[in-house]
Amino acid sequence: MEKTIAGKRIAVNEEGYLTNFSEWDETIGEDLAKEAQITLTPAHWNLIHYIQDEYKKEVPLTIRKIGKSGVVDIKGLYQLFPTAPLKTAAKIAGIPKPASCI
Amino acid sequence: MNDNGQNGHIRKMMIILSKSGLESVYAAFVLANGARMEGIEAEIFFTFFGLDAIHKKKLNHLHIATVGNPSMHMPTLIGGLPGMEALATHMMKKEMEKVDMPEVPEFIEILKASGVKLWACKLAMDMFHYEKGDMDDEIDGVLTVGDFYKKAEGTGVHMLFI
């Protein structure tokens, strides 16, 4: 299915995750963040770029790995994205929903 | 998404851990952490042998039960041999590291950083003659059963006994 994000028609799945990462740009990230009621700060962007890099390297995302990344600690992660941090960050970053349980 | 527990939405998980086998402790920790990852609140009440998981001197030495555990596929007599539990535990820890599962002390830190509340059961503490100082510094306090139920008030709260 498609959805209008930042004025563009973008392919998303039924949960609203982008299905084609190459369609993502920062205006789309900002629009999706607004939808999740999050105001993006430089700290948010650092994390978004980090998880995008991990996605490109095909490294599965876990809370523990983010905690050890040096980008943000786990407490900080929950402050940036208080509700469902990994999923929310992944959605804003235009990458698939994390399949991890930890 | 967040409808405060209306329409069957889970708002908070109250997990009671009564056992100290690594398989039980991990079940409680993964469920609590997984709840936080979904935007669900989580609290763990450690009672009876579950207290070992937050006992400073014990939390580093939790084992998989090899006796009375049908998934071990070994006769009870063999499971009871010296060193069998340590061996099974060592093998499982190796597999857990591969799926990025932290060891117990690190897991407790992750739970706390994620906003999970950790409570020790007062009655079990008294029974085992444990003091608050014997418990991990990360725990939030010692509660009676009544206190714990009080924290479970509200809609969308689920309770789980392990």
For chain A, domain boundaries: 2-93
CA dist list (Å): B136 to A52, A64, B74, B122: 36, 20, 34, 15
Q: B1 lies in a domain?
A: no
CA dist list (Å): A21 to A18, A89, B47, B95, B125: 6, 14, 47, 32, 52
Which residues of chain A are at the B interface, by a Cβ-Cβ cutoff of 8 Å?
60, 62-65, 67, 73-75, 78, 82-87, 100-102
* A66 vs B contacts (CB less than 8 Å): none
b/e burial code for range B130-145 (CB count within 10 A of at least 16 → b): beeebbbeebeebbee
* B117 vs A contacts (CB less than 8 Å): none
Query: Going residue by residue through chain B (162 aa), what tens digit of pLDDT does each one get?
Result: 455 556 788 999 999 999 999 989 999 999 999 999 999 999 999 999 999 999 999 988 888 877 777 777 777 777 777 787 888 888 888 888 888 889 999 999 999 999 999 999 999 999 999 999 999 999 999 999 999 999 999 999 999 999
pTM of the model: 0.88
Cβ within 8 Å of A, B 6-35: 30, 33-34
Q: Phi and psi dihedrals of B76, rounded to 5? A: -50, -40
pLDDT of residue B107: 94
Q: B133 lies in a domain?
A: yes
C-alpha A61/C-alpha A55 separation (Å) is: 8
pLDDT of residue B5: 54
For the sheet with B12-17, list strands across it. Answer: B141-143, B117-121, B41-46, B12-17, B157-161
Residue B38's CATH number: 3.40.1260.10
C-alpha B153/C-alpha B147 separation (Å) is: 10
Q: B59 lies in a domain?
A: yes
**Are B102 and A83 an interchain contact pair (Cβ–Cβ within 8 Å)?**
no
Q: B10 lies in a domain?
A: no
CA dist list (Å): A51 to A20, A25, A58, A69, B15: 16, 14, 10, 10, 31
Domain count, chain B: 1
Question: Is A101 one of the catalytic residues?
Answer: yes
Q: B9 lies in a domain?
A: no
Which residues are registered as beta bridge partners of B158?
B13
- Structural domain containing residue B111: 18-152
pLDDT of residue A31: 93
**Are B115 and A78 an interchain contact pair (Cβ–Cβ within 8 Å)?**
yes
Q: What is the DSSP letter of B157?
A: E
Query: Which listed residue (A1, A99, A101, A102) is catalytic?
Result: A101
Query: Going residue by residue through chain A (102 aa), what tens digit of pLDDT does each one get?
Result: 888 988 889 989 999 999 999 999 999 999 999 999 999 999 999 999 999 999 999 988 899 999 999 999 999 999 999 999 999 999 999 999 998 778
C-alpha B85/C-alpha B9 separation (Å) is: 40
**Are B37 and A74 an interchain contact pair (Cβ–Cβ within 8 Å)?**
no
Q: Of A65, A75, A86, which is closest to B37 when you measure between CB atoms?
A: A86
Q: Of A60, A63, A73, which is closest to B37 when you measure between CB atoms?
A: A63
